[in-house]
Structure 1
Amino acid sequence: MTPEHWLNIATHGLALEAAARVRAEYLAHLEDALEAGESAEAVLREWGDPHTANRELSKAHLTTREARYLPAGYAPTWAGLGRALGEDAVPLLLFALTALAELRSGETAITLALLLAIVAAALLRWLVLSRQMLAARGRATLYWLLSFPTVLMAMSCAVLASRGAEGWHEAGRLLWERGWTGLLIVAYLLYHFSRLLTALSAARKAEAQL
């Protein structure tokens, strides 16, 4: 195995900047060792198993999977605002069509409230993330809090809370009665919360590597 092959395995899955930094550190160590009279084979034995190294490096450095959970932010322009709104285009369209369909019955209050909440969340996301106002963990948390699923969950919890214990009991009963559908809803909620944990872990690594 050559040092290049070893590094390809050891840095597999790391984000580009992290992989480049790790490679530079290892190659610098290799160069120093060769100048001191050591052989490349001896250096590779010192480095150990590349798969083990990859697992350890993935714990300390940002990976490509984790990097996807970090918000890229927006440009402080109308195009940036359009991007923020575009991320919620599907729920915006669905709630807008629902509100139009409910105009005849006059029961549009909840739908309009959800529609306005989604627009307000997207606007606030754009205002904050288009400016370097927060560190990586703050940006990741804010992006998650102002995402459509979180806004929908928050408003649903507010409605249930307004009904007291009866509202929560009714929600639990509906989830139980829906069987697999209820399980899928609970699974998605757990997945959504796990996204926040992954984003915070990625942000912590990104901050540590600055």
Structure 2
Amino acid sequence: QAVRMCSLIFWGLSLVIGVTQASRGDHSNEYTGCYHVCHFNNCTSKMGIAAYESFQSFSEKILQWTCDDECKYFCMWRTTQIFIDRGMDIPQFFGKWPFARLWGMQEPAAVLFSVFNLLAHAVNLSQFCHTVPSNAPLFKMWFLHALICINAWVWSVVFHARDTPWTERLDYFCAFSMVLYSLFGLVIR
């Protein structure tokens, strides 16, 4: 009975949901053409890469921006401007909206808010350790909860500062672990 109901819901939703196109920006001719020219002209020779690295800021070096990444960023904004000039909606690139970098960070506002969440958990952990005796029931469980949350917010800061496949996975997995452990805490309590 339940399997049949799930099957009906799945097929019903598949009829209602229209065909979508993912990341219109990075699949556009404007973007791909720009990227190939930029990459060929700047990132295929040692001299081109050396020229790129000589103009890199310290924060971009720390966050490991490459010549290839810079071409993608440049072409993202060039393509976005073309879309705007044509009266089209701003497209997504690689499944994400375009954000302006600040000090090499991809999403500075998200970094700031993640830092605030990280600090809130760290301050509350400190207060918790000073006010609750370590032999109290569930002390270790809530202490571990705070550590899991702090770890998740650290990876959120890293991911929003520099989006790579690894930082994305670490952010999502750690955020999921925070949600799971919070659910565990809810059930135990």
Q: Is the structural similarity TM-score above 0.5?
A: no
TM-score range, shorter chain: 0.3 to 0.5
Q: Which has the larger radius of gyration?
A: 1
Structure with more of its chain in helix, by fraction: 1
Q: How high is the TM-score relative to the length of structure 1?
A: 0.33
Structure showing greater relative contact order (alpha-carbon pairs closer than 8 Å, 6 or more residues apart)? 1
